[in-house]
Structure 1
Amino acid sequence: NRKLFMDRLGAVANFAKTMPSLRPTLMVIDLDRFKQVNDSVGIAVGDSILLTLARRLTRILKPQDTLARLAGDQFGLILMSEQDPARITAFAETIRKTIRAPIAFNDREIFLTASIGLALSDPQTQLSDEIIKDAELAMYHSKRIGGDRIDVYKPAMRARKTDRLTLESELRRAIEREEITILYQPIVRLEDRSIAGFEALARWDHPKLGRMSPVEFISIAEEIGLIVDLGMFVMDQTAKQLAIWQRAMRSREPIFASVNVSSRQLLRHDLIHDIRTVLSRSSVARGTLKLELTESLVMENPEHAAQMLTRIRELGTGLSLDDFGTGHSSLAYLQRFPFDTIKIDQSFVRTTSRGTRPVILKSIIALAHDLGMDVVAEGAETDSDAVELYQLGCEYAQGFAFGEPMDADAAMRLLTEERLEQAS
């Protein structure tokens, strides 16, 4: 734990005074998006996953190294066994790959990544809280760029440091300052690889910190009660953009767009009014603006969710169940929710270590079709993924194989190019 870690760091600091050649390295390892794992499998299973990871990491350490859990899903490491900078970064890469190896849970696999910050000590560096803060700053830098990477602390990072209170006040003004950007990730029709729709994803273009992903600011927005305004902004902008695409394309099956909804939005009765306002401002085809809710969110309060979702559906909004298979919903409950689309979590889509896809994938697709729902597979990364998913009966797929999140202009260019190809 953190207390033991600080004691050990103090002992190393005293030891280093007598041996100037000894230069410990401090690492802070923070798991990416672990809150989503906890939400989907439950805290007890989340803790057992952390135990598994700790055991894995311990196996690659030498006796003189120290590993501790600093907080939640964050680990600290005092590395004494390596002194050469090249070997230290190679060791950090081994840690990154160790964390990436899938963890078996029931008959599926959970994939994790981590942001790793390194602080290399030198004779001028005090081995104290400060070096931990340096490693944390490097870790936050890694997370801000997208995670699953290693960054070494540089003094310039301290100049960019922004504390939590400052972030909160800046986030409150971000919408009016037009700092919130919406990117759109394509969702393709597997039958002919045409673009069926997009998922809207918010990014914050912070004036000092650069582009920040939702993992860095959505939790703050939820805590300070800003998620409702932020959610309304994303929904409104996406609907307006969707109307532009639909007018431009005039296709037989109109383009759709899905927007994520948080628990705080779903619990508000004003959500119905917000949706009605958004739909009145932009004339999108019925059912093409889809609200996307996670399975764990719906199961927090199934009775309330069923009532709200029925009312939302009556307004002419589509409903998509995100991360299906990661929560704990029973099939009986699933039939009560008026979803038209199920998005299968990428852990069911990716191949296992044996090169096969989880057996349950075929069953989920069949179940969705029995309930009259379309299926979107998340995390499709290769052409063979697309072929196999189509053979299993999946209608749509989303993933890097079909395009990364892009701005509205790039999405429009993609749609226009596709229409020109179809015309020729």
Structure 2
Amino acid sequence: MEIARRLQSSVRPADVVARLGGDEFTLLLEEVAGLSQVEQVARRVLDSLAAPFLLEGREVRVSASIGVVLSEPHYEQAQDMLRDADLAMYRAKERGRACFQVFDVEMRDWAHARSGMEADLREALARKEFRLLFQPIVEIETGRVYAFEALLRWHHGKRRVLLPHEFLPLAEQTGLIVSIGTWVLGEACRYARTWQNAVPGAGPVRISVNVSAKQLADPRLVDDLRAALQDAGLTPAALSLEVTESVLMESLDSSIALLNRLREVGIQLHMDDFGSVYSSLSYLPRFPLQGIKVDRTFVHRMGARRTDLEIVRSIVDLAEHLGLIVIAEGVETATQRERLIAVGCELGQGFLFAKALEPEAARALLAEQRHPDPKAA
């Protein structure tokens, strides 16, 4: 097994590499000089797994989350060390892909709180605690609404309104993201159709929904999409799915095959956070996409570094050549807007144009643009 071989090559001959089951491995390092030496090994492991694997002639990328625990006198049994290493691993997962975390005792309190949040998360759908807000995607020059992106909020009864980054990693780890994502698809399609009916002459209202890695791996996704569209009576072309660049690039060939299946439904596909992780310009023509969203880091740095302005210009030029729409994320200043116009970017999203809106406010914005107030003329 190639993963096991790479792990073995990252440690000393006397160290132990063992598979715990599934995709979990444990490394036992004896007679180490201290934490710094263990951290060096963790970095070597991450580096060794960063290179792509070839699986049946296809390029596959994987990453690891590593939990580190040092042996202490209070550990009486091996399973106690494994438990704490597991806690550290889950903290590493929350930090993002391809990183490691050293255990400390405060993580046990975190694990207790996490367990409580997981229980609440399992009940949240039944309690109808999730809500959708909608941020406009606009024509940069005119400010007119092109589409809305559906953004999830959790109105937690015991806490407050939680933002996605505060609970979606846990939903992804537990698999709850699949049922939550199905709900989001259905609600987003329903709102789009409701607005279309409520605003005469509005035509199909475009709606955009984020899809996670776990959802993409779910074999029911295509059926869930069809059901959401059919139940709402929404034309498939009005729905866009946003998938992050990092998720698509993990396994290039399988991602392309999956996107082709999704395209058969008739929906639009957009690559989110483009440029945030990989230099995927060369791969872009292989994906069956209709649009890309330029990562906000490029937009924010356009004024500070000319190279970032030229990168955005190159992305826009390539997208135009490929027949893709380009949406700039995180537009916050008039200067950013002017520079985006100068490089030919037609669509944008960010606080300069509008924050995330309640459903009724989104409907009102559509109605206002379809029927401008004559007093404002």
Whole-angstrom CA distance in 2 between matches of 1:281 and 1:325: 35
Q: Please state if 1:207 is matched with 2:185.
A: no
Residue deviations 1:59-88, cap 9 Å, x none?
xxxxxxxxxxxx75999xxxxxxxxxxxxx
Distance 1:226 1:367, change over 3 A: same
Amino acid at match of 2:120: E
1:389 and 2:337 equivalent? Answer: no
- The 5-angstrom pairing of residues 199-278 of structure 1 reads 199-251=149-201, 254-278=204-228
**Structure 2 partner of 1:333:** 283
**1:223 positional shift:** 1.2
Partner of 2:27: none
The one of 157, 177, 191 aligned to 2:127: 177
Q: Which residue identity does 2:369 align to in structure 1?
A: E
Q: Distance in 2 between matches of 1:199 and 1:362?
A: 24
How many residues end up aligned between the 2 structures? 282
Distance 2:222 2:92 in 1: 36
Structure 1 residue 376 corresponds to structure 2 residue 322:
no
Matched, 1:361 2:312: yes
| CA distance 1:222–1:362, shift in 2 (3 Å) | same
Kindly report which structure 2 residues correspond to 1:184-203, keeping only aligned pairs within 5 A, or say none: 184-203=134-153
- Deviation of 1:164 after TM superposition, in Å, equals 1.2
Does the 8 A contact of 1:200 with 1:258 survive in 2?
A: yes
Q: Which amino acid aligns with 1:301?
A: S
Sort the Cα spacing of 1:414 and 1:282 in 2 relative to 1 into closer, same or farther, 3 A: same
Equivalent position of 1:102 in the other structure: none
The verdict on how the C-alpha distance between 1:291 and 1:392 changes in structure 2, with shifts beyond 3 A counting, is: same
User: Could you say if the C-alpha distance between residues 251 and 349 of structure 1 is closer, same or farther in structure 2, counting changes exceeding 3 Å?
Assistant: farther
Q: Give, in whole Å, the separation in 2 of the partners of 1:73 and 1:310.
A: 29
Q: 1:317 aligns with which of 260, 267, 287?
A: 267
CA contact (8 A) 2:303 2:336 kept: no
Q: What are the equivalent positions in structure 2 for 1:272-291 lying under 5 Å apart?
A: 272-291=222-241
Q: Deviations over 1:19-43 (max 9, x none)?
A: xxxxxxxxxxxxxxxxxxx9xxx98
Aligned-residue CA RMSD (Å): 3.0
Unpaired runs of at least 5, structure 2: 1-33, 36-49, 51-61, 65-90, 96-103
Deviation larger for 380-389 or 275-284: 380-389
Bigger mean CA deviation after superposition, 339-348 or 355-364? 355-364
Runs of 5+ consecutive residues of structure 1 not aligned to the other structure = 5-37, 45-70, 76-128, 141-160
Quote how far apart the aligned CAs of 1:227 are. 0.6
Larger deviation: 182-191 or 369-378?
182-191
SS of structure 1 residue aligned to 2:339:
helix
Q: Is the 8 Å Cα contact of residues 184 and 408 (structure 1) preserved in structure 2?
A: yes
CA distance in 1 between counterparts of 2:297 and 2:130 reads: 29
Instruction: Check 1:329–1:353 CA distance in 2 against 1; reply closer, same or farther (3 A cut).
Output: closer
- For residues 208 and 162 of structure 1, do their structure 2 counterparts lie closer, same or farther at Cα, with a shift above 3 Å needed? farther
Higher mean Cα deviation, 167-176 or 285-294? 285-294
Q: Report the Cα offset of residue 403 of structure 1.
A: 1.0
Per-residue CA shift, 1:242-301, capped at 9, x if unaligned? 111222335576331111111111112211111111111112233111100001101111
The equivalent residue for 1:417 is 368
Matches within 5 A, 1:135-154: none
Q: Which amino acid aligns with 1:379?
A: G
What SS does structure 2 have at the residue aligned with 1:186? strand
Residue identity in the other structure for 2:334: D
Q: Amino acid of the residue matched to residue 376 of structure 1?
A: I
Matching residue's letter, 2:171: A
Between the aligned partners of 2:367 and 2:270, the Cα distance in structure 1 is 26
> TM-score when scaled to structure 1?
0.61
Distance (whole Å) between structure 2 residues aligned to residue 199 and residue 386 of structure 1 = 19
- 1:245 partner letter: W
Pairing 1:166–2:116 present:
yes
Q: Deviation of residue 358 (structure 1)? A: 3.2
The 3-state SS of whatever aligns with 1:185 is: strand
The 1:408/1:333 distance shift into structure 2, 3 A limit, reads same
Identity of aligned residues (%): 38
Amino acid of the residue matched to residue 292 of structure 2? Answer: I
**1:254/1:384 CA distance change after superposition, 3 Å:** farther
Q: Is the 8 Å Cα contact of residues 376 and 396 (structure 1) preserved in structure 2? A: yes
